[in-house]
């Protein structure tokens, strides 16, 4: 049994981190490759959704773990960074899938470090961790697609409730505008939607605070410059 693991939403400021694992019998790997699975970012949303359904039919098992903003913030407050959090969740996926070999798209700059960590809880599993594994191994590409479709579904739920949050990344102007507009009307970001421990969140809150400070300073300056009553 061969498995692949990948994530979606790692660097997002809005929405969950999703980690997906897909296990496939070795005899079905060619069929998986024939589907044309590859890095989910290279596919249209409609194509991803279609492939995700086909992958689930072909796979022995599929596991999807979603880590919401509150949990991510909680882990970070305890000193658990995103890499360690991913390692923990990947270990859970491997434990569930129980493959003979697993291929992982490494979030760590040193893939060998990830292999060493995962091997501690999966001693009998051959672990291969590489950058761009979602491009080089169809089984990882399959996991990438499943993770992306699952995260997209969560983002759509947020859009229905909170308006157009964009894809949830700070590099997207729609997402950044939503963050600023939300804080312009509310004291805090909505619970379970925004990763409050992210630099982006702090930056937007700081912008709002600075804006208020400038507003009051301008008013104070204006009152000081106004002539006393009766001087005219």
Q: What is the pTM of this model?
A: 0.87
Cα–Cα distance measured from residue 128 to residue 5, given in angstroms and rounded to the nearest whole number: 10
Q: What are the residues facing 7 on neighbouring strands? A: 19
- Per the DSSP assignment, residues forming a β-bridge with 6 are 20
- CA–CA separation, 147 and 65 (whole Å): 9
Query: Contact, 104 vs 147, CB < 8 A?
Result: no
Q: Decide: 128 and 5 in contact? Cβ < 8 Å.
A: no
Same fold, 2-160 and 162-224: no
pLDDT digits (tens, 9 = 90+) for 75-111: 999 999 999 999 999 999 999 999 999 999 999 999 9
Domain 2-160: which CATH class?
alpha beta
179: pLDDT strictly greater than 60: yes
Dihedral sign, CA of 170, 173, 174, 178?
positive
Residue 220 has pLDDT above 90, yes or no: no
Domain boundaries, the chain: 2-160, 162-224
State percent of the chain over pLDDT 90.
Answer: 78
Return the CATH number of the domain spanning residue range 162-224. Answer: 1.10.10.460
Q: At residue 213, does pLDDT exceed 50?
A: no
């Amino acid at each position: 049994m061969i498995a692949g693991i990948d994530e979606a939403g790692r660097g997002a400021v809005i929405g969950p981190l999703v980690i997906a694992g897909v296990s496939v019998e070795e005899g079905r790997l060619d069929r998986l490759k024939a589907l044309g699975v590859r890095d989910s970012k290279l596919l249209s949303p409609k194509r991803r959704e279609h492939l995700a359904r086909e992958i689930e039919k072909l796979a022995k098992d599929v596991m999807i773990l979603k880590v919401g903003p509150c949990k991510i913030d909680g882990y970070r407050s305890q000193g658990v960074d995103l890499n360690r959090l991913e390692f923990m969740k990947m270990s859970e996926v491997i434990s569930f899938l129980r493959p003979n070999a697993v291929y992982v798209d490494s979030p760590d700059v040193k893939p060998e470090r990830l292999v060493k960590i995962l091997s501690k809880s999966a001693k009998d599993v051959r672990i291969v961790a590489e950058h761009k594994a979602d491009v080089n191994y169809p089984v990882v590409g399959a996991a990438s697609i499943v993770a992306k479709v699952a995260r997209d579904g969560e983002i759509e739920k947020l859009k229905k409730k909170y308006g157009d949050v964009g894809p949830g990344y700070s590099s997207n102007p729609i997402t950044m505008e939503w963050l600023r507009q939300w804080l312009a009307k509310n004291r805090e970001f909505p619970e379970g939607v925004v990763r409050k421990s992210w630099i982006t969140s702090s930056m937007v809150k700081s912008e709002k605070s600075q804006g208020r400070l400038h507003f009051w300073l301008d008013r104070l300056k204006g009152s000081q410059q106004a002539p006393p009553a009766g001087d005219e």
